[in-house]
Structure 1
Amino acid sequence: MNDAAKDTQSAHDPYPAYAAMRSECPVQAVASGSSGRHSYLVTGYAEARHALSDSRLSKDTAAFFAGKNSKRRLHPAVAHNMLASDPPQHTRLRKLVTGAFTSGAVAGLRPFITRLTDELLDQWPAEGPVDLVADLAVPLPVMVICELLGVPEIDRPQVQRWSAALFAAGEPERTDAASYAVADYMTGLIASKRLRPGDSLLDRLIAARDGEDHLNEEELVSLAVLLLVAGHETTTHFLGNAALALLQHPAELERVRSNPDAIPQALDELLRFDAPVSTSTFRFTTEAITLGETEIPAGVPVLVALGAANRDPDRFPTPDQLDLDRDATGHLSFGHGIHRCVGAPLAKAEAHIALGAILTRFPEFRLAVPAERLVWRHTRLVRGLDSLPVLL
């Protein structure tokens, strides 16, 4: 099998490779491209959970790359965001946005999400085929986060295209260009909102910038970009992966189809089974540490394979089986510790409403092509489908 074929197979089903690595050693050095340098990849659950909350693993990418001759030219608002920071800066920034994603705040958004979902499904033909990714999983989270931030409707399609480019694998120039485009757009939107204030989350962040919460202009733009991009990209893949998992497991699909009230409990198992974020964002060791039984020197990157950890049989018995009766709480698809995804309640609400609506309106929906013909995105960070053709 040539390298291209191996890459395609890995994108389609990375879990056998993860299992082999975890069996060999749950924390091991892996080559970082052609530079000859090494990172450490974590595939075991216990080791991953520990790594995600170990303060000796820093997320301050600016500190790591300082003085290094990096060829990347990401906009600072993208490269140096809340996810790429440590306490106390991370604590201060996170506090400013947490209130928008509490269970109470998300409950207030549910009628809007339901209306958007119904409007999108109204456009589906009675029998199909439709692309569940392009016709639901992409536009729904984009419109929800744009509504939350106050992005005008006319700009939302372009915002989605920039976001997709930011996650493009193997296209650094395209990614770097998209980082400047989206940062410039949010800078302009912030300026216009200062002239015509509203009541969106972005307006509240502007008030923090211009008030007494010590949010400077660079941090304001960075937070806005992060919320815009991270607020929908992973939810898109959550919806697509969850729908495919159900379609490939008819007994589990029938269980939630006959009892929609079971969907909320099923979401954790769907997240565990095929995580929309396959590898956590960048971390590096600030001192030599021992993770599991592996010694890691100071100053090297550590990548936590969330999808691999979720399939660790020491934590989840028969991990390659989708079992909606399983207690899957404790999965790492949203991370763990102080960097756990702040938007997790919103992502779950969108998935609950969207899957419930599909199962209610199209109870016989099924794959339009064999699963092996589906195309997966080639990217280290997220795991998701390019498209998901279904018949209704």
Structure 2
Amino acid sequence: MTFDLIAQLDPHFEKVTRARGLLGAPQVLVTAPGLRYQFGDPLAPFHAASIGKVATAVLVMQLVESGTLSLESPLTTLLPANELTHLFSGDGSSRATVHQLLTHTAGVADYFAGPVRTGPSFMRLVVDEPERVWSPADLLDFSRHHQSPVAAPGARFSYSDTGYVLLGRILEELTGQPFHDLLHERIFTPLDLANSWLVSRSAPADPNTPELAPFWLDRVEASRFASVSCDWAGGGIAATPANLVTLSEALHNGALLAPESLAYLSEMRHRFRAGIHYGAGFMELRFEGFFFALRGLPRPLGHIGVLGTHMFYDPRHDAHVVLNFHSTREMVRSFKSLIRIEQALGRASAG
């Protein structure tokens, strides 16, 4: 089965690599029972971007399982009032809940990609001020001072990195530990993810971990910028392809969460955009939403990141797929490659 996948996918990824020029080969890892396919550098850790939201959601659900936190807890009972000021419509902070933050329905702006009332966009600041280090308070202040709430809590879905920063702060307040320590203590160390860390905040357990793979914000290579400290609980994890496959496996084999918690996270409630639906820190791909002829492909569960990163579990083939295309300009090509992988898995399993 592995040989079949190599024969089907190597020509595709070789062509993709040629077309990408200086970006080089994407990182690809696909595993399933009796199967392992990889392309590109298998050892380089990469910035996973919003795949990190999955880890944040896991940490939240672990506290829910322990009875430390309720999904319906109002945010005003969990965070100091000054952290919530001017992030919500009217008195929305008193009505917004943890559930709404997880499902992107709390109505807060999105500091990373949302529109601004004044000044440059956040992405512009990250590129123009590469030495700037962003704290969680800075991220919340950007939404507070330069953006407007998008809706009343519970009114509609609106993807929000700001909301996940608030979740990170809730985790810190309830545990008394920094967010990056929680990642290591509750996820990285138990799963032996020795080549994973929170960018700008911690270090991998393995001191021989290679340097972070390069990545491009539009046409600017930014992997060494201090300003990429901006992702934090909204998606600041770096990991190798193998570490992310291990994380994906742990999500679905009960190593991190009870079945009820996984069911909550993976219940699709809203459409993110055509072909992508959203639960609570989890996405589900419905390929027919991209193009009707793709109807019948599996519906993988996981998350994408703005850098053309993917971590998905395909339940039909019991397959885990991790991709890194290294660039904000490579999202379309990364999805076309994921479709090729799903088609190849289907043909290999049928044979």
Structure 1 length-normalised TM: 0.29
Larger radius of gyration: 1
Compute the TM-score of the two structures, normalised by the length of structure 2.
0.31
Larger helix proportion, structure 1 or 2? 1
Greater RCO (CA < 8 Å, at least 6 residues apart): 1
